[in-house]
Structure 1
Amino acid sequence: GKYIIKVYPLFNSKDEVNGAIALRYQLNMASTNPNIKWIVALVTFVSLASPFLYFYLFAYLFGRRFSKKIERPFNELMTAAKNIQHNNLDFSLSVTQDAKELSQLLHAFEEMRKELKQSLAKQWQLEEDRKDMTAAIAHDLRTPLTIIHGHTEILVEGGKKDPERLNRYLHTIYTNTLRSIQLLNQLQEVSVIENPGFSVKSEPIDINTFVHEKADEFQLLCQKKEIAFVSSISVEDASNQFYGDPQRISQVLDNIITNCIRYTLERGEIAWNTVIHHNEVIFEIHDTGPGFTLSNKEQLFKKFYREDASRTSGHGNLGLGLYIAHSIVKNHGGSITADNKETGGALFKIVLPMGKK
């Protein structure tokens, strides 16, 4: 086995074997080589320690390599957190391919950054809109309120003794009061439309009845300014009934045609053509006014936008009528565009889906 055994016989004086001595022992490297005992001990220690040394070396190299993989993503995350802390969202995180979990973490953080930036952008835009609205209210209400105050002050100081002046001033006060109410109503309407819970109804609408009733209303409005108003209906392979919100669609038409009446000169003409084509209801409205500045067509349906060149607004309008119309049509799943006719004047086109109940 592992042992060395030596037997030494014992003899007496007559050379007879009286017994024996047996030696059993083990030998190791150190005792076998006493001259290099320290080398043997060192080799033995290294042999015993080598598994631990290999494990440490492996752990060190693996840990160093792994730390390099995760160092960059974690540094990016820390930098991103500091940027967000200082309201800086104009950066992006690069998704690593080294570690699946880190890749998922970076992707989730990047999605959070995008959503946060979008949310803050909306909040900042709302704040800017609020500032614009405040400025618009202050600007547009200042004139009628100043006129009302001035005329009232004159009447209080004795102007009411003159019947002619009294009637004229009361008419001016009344007109500017209506103008102020109109501005506030527009602001209230925008507040309703921009509410997240706003939605349009879906009711059956008989297109013939609807168009004829609205045409009678617009005819009366146009008569006051001696403007000719023409209305027509064309049905192409479709039903006369569609689904929508009659009050909101009526509001869209009111805003558009009121705009046309405002900018059409006396003895001009406004035409409203209704076409029912397959699954769509198309309203085309054009006037003989000055039309639009071509470079501004894309801005017409934005909030508070008012043209200065052709269809200028000096009539107490906040520039919200077309914005409200666009929002209502969009909620119906339709579209609205504005352009200039080749023969002159503005051309509005409203396309609404027939819809369903």
Structure 2
Amino acid sequence: MAKIISYLRLKNMTMLQSFVALNCVYLVAVLTAIVFEFDWADRIRRRFADHPFGNDWVITAQIIAMLLTIGIGLVLIAGLFYKLKLKKPLEILMSASKKISSNDLGFHVSYDSKDEMSELCRAFEKMRSQLESNFKALWRSVEERNQLNAIFAHDLRTPLSIMKGYSEFITTYLPQKRISEEKLLDTIKTMETHILRMERYVESMNSIQKLDDMPINKQEIEFDTLIALLDNSASRIADQSGKTSDSCRSADSTLLFVDMDLVMQVFENMVANGARYASNQVNVDYLVYNGIFSITVTDDGSGFSNDDLRKSVLPFYRGVEPEANEHQGLGLYICKVLCEKHQGGLQVANSSSGGGKVTANFLCHVDK
């Protein structure tokens, strides 16, 4: 029997095919047994033909034997079907469901077969993988939000401390009339500056929180049309900073499927950041390859320091250059968040010539 089952190769069969195959084996086995039972009953009848009590009981015994054969055969074939087709995948799925219920997603669901249970296991694995991906994304989001809140609290501490000191100064010396009107006005103006600074920080935090709810609206656009818009924007931003811009392109497609507004926002932040630190020129490289649209902005400035390379995509990081204090330090962080929303990413490095180099990647559907 085991050799017959092995020959049938039930693992490569669907549930219905396996059920039919096992039932064929069952019918052959049961019919064979019943044939032997008929032969046995006939021999018993002949042996007890002249017995005083007769041989009528043989028919009853034969019927009971046939019913037992059919019943035992059904139980055996059902058990065999469960063991070969259902037991292992059900154990795998039960174990996986218990791990998921305990928030353990670091496992894989695998069942080597070609039947419906294998498809169910693959669907379960896909669900587990998606849950793990969503969980990691949520965890990263929480970590980034905690980090953002910590940075925000740290940056607010300084103006608050300054304002507290000035407040104590005024409340201490003003009642005693030991502060001149000129000094008082100067102190109030300083406090007003720090109040405006805190207002900008609060507005920046609101804008960052809105990024999470920003929808992605992809649309089909010609590569040359998009590049023309980007080049025009780069030229305008560079002119405002007294710099020049240049670009080059390479693409394996004429059509892109992207969120144009999101790409424009990332691009303008990158070019503005490059123009801020460039000595004379900002260069832009556009590349479309294997469904990825990449924009690389390179400046001819002094490049990123080691500290900048580690922290440049953090929110509110402004570096140590004097001009860095003129902005909130959100440009590259916003670019990073938006690129990730577009299923891409942001890389910060230094070019071979020494200037800063920022590359944004966007996942796009490409029609060749």
TM range (shorter): 0.5 to 0.7
Kindly provide the amino acid, as one letter, of the partner of residue 111 in structure 1: K
Q: 1:34 pairs with 39, 47, 51, which one?
A: 51
Task: Answer yes or no: is the 8 Å Cα contact 1:252–1:325 preserved in 2.
Answer: yes
Distance apart, 1:95 and its partner CA: 1.8
- What does 1:1-357 correspond to in 2, within 5 Å? 29=46, 32-34=49-51, 40=55, 43-69=58-84, 70-97=86-113, 100-158=115-173, 161-162=179-180, 165-166=183-184, 168-199=186-217, 210-211=233-234, 213-219=236-242, 230-233=243-246, 245=261, 249-258=267-276, 260=277, 270-274=279-283, 283-288=297-302, 291-293=304-306, 297=309, 299=310, 302-304=313-315, 320-328=330-338, 337-341=347-351, 344=354, 346-349=355-358
**Change beyond 3 A, Cα 1:216–1:105:** closer
Query: C-alpha offsets along residues 279-311 of structure 1, whole Å, 9 cap, x if unaligned?
Result: 89764223236x3228x84x5564449599x88
Distance 2:117 2:347 in 1: 48
Unaligned runs of 5+ in 1: 1-27, 220-229, 238-242, 261-268
Task: Answer yes or no: is the 8 Å Cα contact 1:234–1:276 preserved in 2.
Answer: yes
Distance apart, 1:103 and its partner CA: 2.2
Distance 1:176 1:293 in 2: 30
Distance apart, 1:31 and its partner CA: 7.3
Give the TM-score, by structure 1 length.
Answer: 0.62
Task: Answer yes or no: is the 8 Å Cα contact 1:338–1:349 preserved in 2.
Answer: yes
Distance 1:292 1:254 in 2: 19
Distance 2:231 2:140 in 1: 41
Task: Answer yes or no: is the 8 Å Cα contact 1:285–1:349 preserved in 2.
Answer: no
Distance apart, 1:68 and its partner CA: 1.8
Q: Which moved more, 1:188-197 or 1:198-207?
A: 198-207
Task: Answer yes or no: is the 8 Å Cα contact 1:306–1:313 preserved in 2.
Answer: no
Q: Say what the alpha-carbon RMSD is for the aligned residues.
A: 4.6
Distance apart, 1:71 and its partner CA: 2.3
Is the helix fraction higher in 1 or 2? 2
Distance apart, 1:29 and its partner CA: 4.8
Q: Partner of 1:195: helix, strand, or coil? A: coil
Q: Which moved more, 1:113-122 or 1:271-280?
A: 271-280
**Change beyond 3 A, Cα 1:313–1:133:** farther
Unaligned runs of 5+ in 2: 1-44, 251-258, 289-293
Distance apart, 1:42 and its partner CA: 6.2
Kindly provide the amino acid, as one letter, of the partner of residue 184 in structure 1: V
Distance 1:191 1:57 in 2: 68
Distance 2:357 2:349 in 1: 7
Is the strand fraction higher in 1 or 2? 1
Kindly provide the amino acid, as one letter, of the partner of residue 325 in structure 1: C
Kindly provide the amino acid, as one letter, of the partner of residue 78 in structure 1: M
Q: Partner of 1:87: helix, strand, or coil? A: coil
Q: Partner of 1:140: helix, strand, or coil? A: helix
Distance 1:347 1:152 in 2: 43
Q: Which moved more, 1:116-125 or 1:275-284?
A: 275-284
Distance 2:360 2:143 in 1: 31
Distance apart, 1:191 and its partner CA: 2.2
Q: Partner of 2:108: helix, strand, or coil? A: coil
Give the TM-score, by structure 2 length.
Answer: 0.61
Equivalences, count? 295
Q: Partner of 1:33: helix, strand, or coil? A: coil
Distance apart, 1:324 and its partner CA: 1.1
Distance 2:180 2:126 in 1: 72
Q: Partner of 1:113: helix, strand, or coil? A: helix
Task: Answer yes or no: is the 8 Å Cα contact 1:183–1:317 preserved in 2.
Answer: no
